[in-house]
Amino acid sequence: MGELEDENLDLVLARRLRRCIESCEQTLNAYTAKEAETTPPFVDALMLAIGGMQAAIRMQTYDRELRQASLRIAAMLAREGASTVRRYGLDDELLNCADACERAAFICEDVLLRAVA
């Protein structure tokens, strides 16, 4: 892949992951506001998933091994976040958040597969 193609891929990755992050943050804000007395059990997993996605975006400027490691970690944390959110409930907001986490995991895995090809 040429430098321009790599740069475009980084921009697309960042844009797509940011959409997933926004969806997760909206859910996190909504549920922490609703349940101010207690912290919903999915909050930790969701915060880790968000952090993993943010790190994957930041690490795109580093060497290949660090980029790939950050993508693997982000995918793993996003899948765990999706699973945890689904165990908590099945309302539309939670399902949208879980779908965003699954989408983020798929995006990261797809970039990893393209790097190998």
Q: What would the two tokens of residue 39 be?
A: 């912290």
**The CA-based dihedral angle spanning residues 76, 67, 11, 97, taken in that order and rounded to the nearest 10 degrees:** 10
Give phi and psi for 35, each to the nearest 5.
Answer: -115, 60
66-113: pLDDT as tens digits: 999 999 999 999 999 999 999 998 899 999 999 999 999 999 999 999
Question: Mean pLDDT for the chain?
Answer: 89
The CATH number of the domain holding residue 108 is: 1.20.140.40
Percent pLDDT > 90 in the chain is: 67
Range of the domain at 10: 3-116
Q: Is the pLDDT of residue 2 over 50?
A: no
The pLDDT of residue 62 is above 80: no
Contact 25, 17 (CB under 8 A): no
In this predicted structure, the answer to whether residue 1 has a pLDDT above a threshold of 50 is no
CA 67 vs CA 13, 48, 71, 107: distances in Å? 12, 18, 6, 13
User: Secondary structure of the chain: what % helix, strand, coil (to 5)?
Assistant: 85, 0, 15
Contact of 71 with 57, CB cutoff 8 Å: no
Domain count for the chain: 1
Which two three-digit tokens encode residue 8? 């475009």
Quick one: pLDDT at residue 79?
Answer: 98
